[in-house]
């Protein structure tokens, strides 16, 4: 099989063509955090955030972000997403929010970028909705947690047998 690269023979960027790769079911999970002041987390949990339903709005924004990945990331293929789920969990130990996303498709390429974009968009939306009460927030630790499907097989963060 030829090497898949986004560069042509002259070094110009191009979208990779992979006609030899079969369609398979693929899944990716990603996570991230938004750390904030304890009072900010408390305001959200008590429904006192100035912009309203912070968590549900940010979860929806994450789903919408995943669907726009190919428009945001150069050379990223548009994928028919079968599932996008975003969950935001308040965490007093940060304090802040833990954001997770799951994406699923059937196709010739993975959905890691869509999961990462979902988490990033949800975190950015949390920041936007809370910046009026907290300018000290920090978005961090955005990472792929696992992926399944495709020729490279399954991978889970922290699994010493995974590459």
CA dist., res. 69 & res. 18, Å (int): 19
* Token duo for residue 3: 């090497």
CB neighbourhood size of 82 (10 A)? 14
User: Which candidate, 30, 58, 34, 32, places its Cα nearest to that of 138?
Assistant: 34
Question: pLDDT tens-digit profile of 57-82?
Answer: 999 999 999 999 999 999 899 999 99
Selecting among 23, 128, 134, 159, the annotated active-site residue is 128
In the chain, what percentage of residues exceed pLDDT 90?
A: 79
CA dist., res. 21 & res. 44, Å (int): 46
Question: pLDDT tens-digit profile of 89-118?
Answer: 999 999 999 999 999 999 999 999 999 999
CA dist., res. 122 & res. 139, Å (int): 10
**Is 8 a known active-site residue?**
no
Q: What are phi and psi of 162, to 5 degrees?
A: -90, 150
Tally: H helices and E strands in the chain: 4, 5
Residue 144 three-state SS: strand
CA dist., res. 113 & res. 69, Å (int): 7
Q: What are phi and psi of 104, to 5 degrees?
A: -140, 140
**What ranges do the domains of the chain cover?**
24-146
Task: Report the pLDDT value the prediction gives residue 21, as an integer from 0 to 100.
Answer: 80
β-partners of residue 37 are none
Please give the distance of CA 20 from its chain centroid, rounded to a whole number: 27
pTM score: 0.90
9: left (phi over 0), alpha (psi -120 to 50) or beta: alpha
Query: According to CATH, what is the number of the domain 24-146?
Result: 3.30.70.640
């Amino acid at each position: 099989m030829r090497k898949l690269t986004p560069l042509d023979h002259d070094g110009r960027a191009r979208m990779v063509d992979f006609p030899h790769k079969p369609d398979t079911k693929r899944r990716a999970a990603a996570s991230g955090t938004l750390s904030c002041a304890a009072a900010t987390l408390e305001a959200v949990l008590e429904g006192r955030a100035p912009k309203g339903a912070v968590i549900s709005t940010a979860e929806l924004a994450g789903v919408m972000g995943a669907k726009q990945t190919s428009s945001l990331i150069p050379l990223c293929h548009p994928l028919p997403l079968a599932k996008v789920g975003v969950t935001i969990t308040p965490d007093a130990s940060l304090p802040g929010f833990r954001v997770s996303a799951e994406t699923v498709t059937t196709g010739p390429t993975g959905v890691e970028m869509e999961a990462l974009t979902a988490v990033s968009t949800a975190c950015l939306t949390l920041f936007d909705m809370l910046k009026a009460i907290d300018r000290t927030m920090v978005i961090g630790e955005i990472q792929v947690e696992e992926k399944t499907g495709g020729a490279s097989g399954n991978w889970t963060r922290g699994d010493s047998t995974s590459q």
